[in-house]
Structure 1
């Protein structure tokens, strides 16, 4: 009889692994080291620290726990147990102790709150948290849409964190950040251009930006980023090659006394010629957003041509030099026409394409 009773007790315990033994202890620790749950480093803002901690504890941690423990927190009937007894679990790479507590699904941080948190990241110290933050969103099955990736990249520029975003792309399995969308890649390369332009295409910014641009181009060959359809493959777009031409030419002028060291400038100029049919050099646009987007693509290309023609080896080349001079006129005329038709409100509060056009024209 005694053996039968013991058998029933053991079977009961195996059938309900969430069961807490009330009669033997007022608390219970269940060890589960979920090493995918991100941790954050201190930031420059107490408000940002507080928001990161809330999102971690109320979104990332629950989704990083086994389903049984998550149910214990979010299912009302099970969560009531947490009011009676403490239940802790080990999380993260350091086996941090986390006490489970009742949570309501409707109180979970939203994606709006997630982006508000990112907007509080103001410097590279803060942006060191973006990779664990993105990994937490991916862990929590939160999807970042392309327009939001573009938004994140713009904010990274202001904090001198484009290199960190490149690292996020290298850790795509963890972060979900892919260089496979034309819009996202356009934004990344245009922000490299803006970063270099802001620093007047001087060193060390130009070399860093050029290094990032080359690495991004290499990443687009990775299986995780590659696009098989050539019609929507971002690495074939002229704005990618044009930005590489621009940055390589600026680097040659700064570091190598205007010599095309290694023939990189000539290489990118030839590649640009190969995709020139994709460059829109028309002088009209159906609306200003379309025109401004075209400026964002074409202004770095035109500046790349201008810088390349300052290199004697390129300007004096019979084929590529004369071709660049010829297309420079067409592209310059298109950009001038588009900017001259900018609405008054754009002139008063410049959009980024228009802003870069004015900046480089006045240089």
Structure 2
């Protein structure tokens, strides 16, 4: 991949024409040409377009599978950078697969590194597959530890904060045109329920499990208020109509994976913020009576919907490692004590 894709991608037009043009083949053999590529002296070699240049996408998948099998993801930023400079345009699903495999290996940090270098790597949260798999990874890491490992949970919280910062930049948010534009638009990813739900879930579990149920920094209250505002804006009937916010049924697996963090976060927030009910401390985490009632209604509606989806999935007997099995584990492992 380096000699057939990366180096040609870095070459000026004339040198690239030399290694790909048939009329230069003999010339390069008789009079070798050396060029400087990224501070490295490289001998130009003629390439047969039909025989010497394999499909970039196939090579990429092979490279990712090799990284996964050896659990060595150190070269991922270099791989993505090389592909971007070579002009390769990877499909969103391929990028989503990359995030998923790296996260499964406990390497969400290398993914965030690639996201922070998006101008070089091309990996961006603008791609829905990337954003969704990042969110799922931030949930799965502490969930697989039974939500009982404080260090693991703090690691996901830190990563979530980094994702939140990236979503404030034009490189990762199509709704932001400049770094000074922070107006929330209807399709802004910062307004997506699954994004806010993940942030709330992590903050709520940490407060409940490791802060004696106290919303010490006000994040549980803040994320809850934002999430409820978005839900009531997207579904204005929710303030009166009970049952209007049950998860959509486009597919049990996806609906559960989208809905569990929202229910989990709200169910714990209800307990945490309920302890503050009636107190007049001016805390940033306090909710109005109307907000608290909406939170309870949404939580109950999602709980009913998720129970039905869980029954549907259990009847299908999903295979181990499938999205269906993962969704059921997410639901089973929620903190309920």
Q: Same fold (TM over 0.5)?
A: yes
- Distance in 2, matches of 1:251 and 1:321, equals 21
Correspondences of 1:252-267 after superposition (within 5 Å):
252-267=207-222
Correspondences of 1:197-346 after superposition (within 5 Å):
197-201=143-147, 202-228=149-175, 230-277=185-232, 278=234, 281-282=245-246, 285-286=249-250, 290-311=251-272, 313-317=273-277, 319=289, 320-342=291-313, 346=317
Deviations 1:27-81 (A, max 9, x none): xxxxxxxxxxxxxxxxxxxxxxxxxxxx112210111111211122111111221
Instruction: Determine the structure 1 residue equivalent to 2:241.
Output: none
Residue 186 (structure 1) shift: 2.1
**Contact 1:64 1:139 survives alignment (8 Å):** yes
**Contact 1:179 1:185 survives alignment (8 Å):** yes
1:90 match: secondary structure: strand
TM-score, with structure 2 as normaliser: 0.81
Once the two structures are overlaid, the 10-residue window that deviates more, 339-348 or 169-178, is 339-348
Let me know the Cα RMSD of the aligned residues. Answer: 2.5
Task: Give the total of aligned pairs.
Answer: 303
1:196 match: secondary structure: helix
Residue 353 (structure 1) shift: 5.0
1:275 match: secondary structure: helix
Instruction: Determine the structure 1 residue equivalent to 2:238.
Output: none
1:262 match: secondary structure: coil
Deviations 1:228-251 (A, max 9, x none): 293432221111111111111122
324, 332, 336: which one aligns with 1:361: 332
Residue 124 (structure 1) shift: 9.7
- Distance in 2, matches of 1:328 and 1:160, equals 31
**Contact 2:247 2:255 survives alignment (8 Å):** no
Mark the runs of 5 or more structure 2 residues left unpaired by the alignment: 176-183, 236-243, 279-288
**Contact 2:138 2:160 survives alignment (8 Å):** yes
Instruction: Determine the structure 2 residue equivalent to 1:28.
Output: none
2:68 match: secondary structure: coil
| Structure 1 residues 86 and 346: alpha-carbon distance in aligned structure 2, compared to 1, 3 A threshold | farther
- Distance in 1, matches of 2:191 and 2:303, equals 22
1:160 match: secondary structure: coil
- Distance in 1, matches of 2:174 and 2:28, equals 48
1:189 match: secondary structure: helix
Alignment of 1:98 onto 2:38: no
**Contact 2:247 2:302 survives alignment (8 Å):** no
Which structure has the larger Rg over C-alpha atoms? 1
- Distance in 1, matches of 2:172 and 2:127, equals 9
TM-score, with structure 1 as normaliser: 0.76
